[in-house]
Amino acid sequence: MIRLLARKEFRCLFAAPSTWWMLALLQFIFAWFFLARLDDYLLVQAQLAQSGNAPGATISIAAPLANVLSIVLMMLIPLFTMRLIAEERRNQTWILLSTAPISSLHIVLGKFLGLLALLSLIIVACGLMMCAIALGTHVDVGLIASNVLGVWLLAASYAALGLYFSALTRQPIVAAFGALAVSLGLWMLEMSNGMVRVLSPTVHFQALNSGLINSSDLVYFGLFIGAFLGLTLYHIRRERGGAR
Amino acid sequence: MSTPLTLSAQHLTLFRGRRCVIEDVSLELRRGEVLGLLGHNGAGKSTTLQMLAGALLPTSGHVEVCDFDLSRQADLGKACLGFLPEHPPLYRDMTVDNFLVFAARLHRVSAAQLPDFLALAKQRCGLSEVGDKLIGTLSKGYQQRVGIAQAIIHQPAVVILDEPTVGLDPTQIRDIRNLIRELGNSSSVILSTHLLNEVESLCDRALILQNGKVIFNDTLAEMHRHNDIESSFIRLTTMQAEGVAP
């Protein structure tokens, strides 16, 4: 049942022309940025080579690219998540799911995984672009892998957050703005100092961005995703009227 | 009666905030029966149907479908139900075939049965020609038919239709009525409507709601006893409004 819903969600996302536009535009932006970083790196490469312990190509090109990807995804994911539940409510199709013999948990997971499949595609495409550095020089495969993992976890967190906001309202735009505002707020926390910093997903992404995989960061992302999926589930169940 | 009960609702009550929307509605339906749900606008017809379909849980009371309690064994119960809400729940960017397959899979139709069920539902609702069209491009009448097809594709024991003939032209209305009659042979059907002649030509029993309460629940013959159905309906609803026992 989860697979059925996820596949339907994935197909519906792909049926919309706007998805294709967004994918194309994203690839264009990333390619542009990638080439710009590559250009910069080639300019300073000679000077870097003279200094000892110079930063390699991967950390100068791939890591900033992952950083850009993480920010773009933060802006973009609310646009995808808004349609998951809020739009179904507005189009009165939600009742099809709520009267079908499936549990709320399956609905939530199906929708989440369907979107995650699309996001994975974006991230994999970007990861391949990073690997293109291998054509010219040695790449730090570990660093690229930890960056891809970091972006993927971040994307999953934003998707769970957006899904929750989508469950709260019947207006897709309100859901999108709500999710965006909270993601921006969490990003701002990164700049503050003190304990609240640890609440920000982007802070936990920084370590992965520099190639460091901390188990505490992985646990944080797991908790973040789990918490928002749980809240979504709670909200949907309560709306259905208590039980289930 | 020997035919088995397919749907039984006992003492359904629903509060919205502190306002009582539905008060103590009970009804029973046997296999092969067609029940007409009547009432003025805002009498609580759609809300009652949503509770029967499991989209809304009542504040108190319970619904059993094919002996499964909708609040405890929801999945088993809902698998025996087909529901067409007031606004047909259609994904406008899916084709008719894809949508019906999705609806069937949601209701646990196995892959082996799927082609037969799909063909039968399309043939019954007159959708054979438009299988590969996008739902969003279809006319209102066709969309309504897709909505009905979605409700019957898994061949449920209980079919709940909320105003199935709204927005259809006379030929389509005739076709849908024939379909409901056909469904009434094998399953139980509940339909809500404003058209009294629809109830007269289709239903075995009628249930009239007013302000969330049942004011009439009996066979059509009983309704016919005094008068024609229209004047009976008006008599019942106005008497209730004036506070006289019917």
Q: Does A18 touch chain B (CB under 8 A)?
A: no
User: 10-residue block means of pLDDT along chain A (244 residues)?
Assistant: 89 86 90 90 81 76 88 91 90 89 91 94 90 82 90 95 93 93 91 82 88 90 96 88 46
B5-16 and B19-30 beta bridge pairing: antiparallel
Q: What is the pLDDT of residue A231?
A: 95
Spell out which chain B residues touch chain A, with contact meaning CB-CB distance below 8 angstroms.
50, 53-58, 71-72, 74-79, 81, 83, 85, 87-94, 98, 102-103, 105-108, 150
Q: CA of A95, closest CA in chain B: separation in Å?
A: 6
Task: Please spell the DSSP secondary structure of B164-229, one letter per residue.
Answer: TTTT--HHHHHHHHHHHHHHHHHSEEEEE-S-HHHHHHH-SEEEEEETTEEEEEEEHHHHHTTS-H
Tens of pLDDT, residues A157-209? 999 999 999 999 989 999 999 999 999 999 988 888 778 888 888 888 988 88
- Classified as helix, coil or strand, A96 is helix
% chain B with pLDDT above 90 = 25
Sequence ranges of the domains in chain B = 1-80+156-246, 90-155
Model ipTM value: 0.85
Q: CA of A91, closest CA in chain B: separation in Å?
A: 7
Residue B64: phi, psi to the nearest 5?
-120, 130
Please give the distance of CA A179 from its chain centroid, rounded to a whole number.
12
Each residue's pLDDT tens digit in chain B (246 positions)?
567 888 888 898 988 888 888 888 898 888 888 999 988 888 888 899 998 988 888 888 888 888 888 888 888 888 889 999 989 999 988 999 999 999 999 998 999 999 999 999 999 888 888 989 999 999 888 899 999 999 999 999 999 999 988 878 888 888 888 989 888 888 899 999 888 888 888 888 888 888 888 888 888 777 777 667 777 788 777 776 666 554
The tokens describing A125, both together, are 């495409």
- CA–CA dist B90, B103 (Å, integer): 10
Class level of CATH domain B1-80+156-246: alpha beta
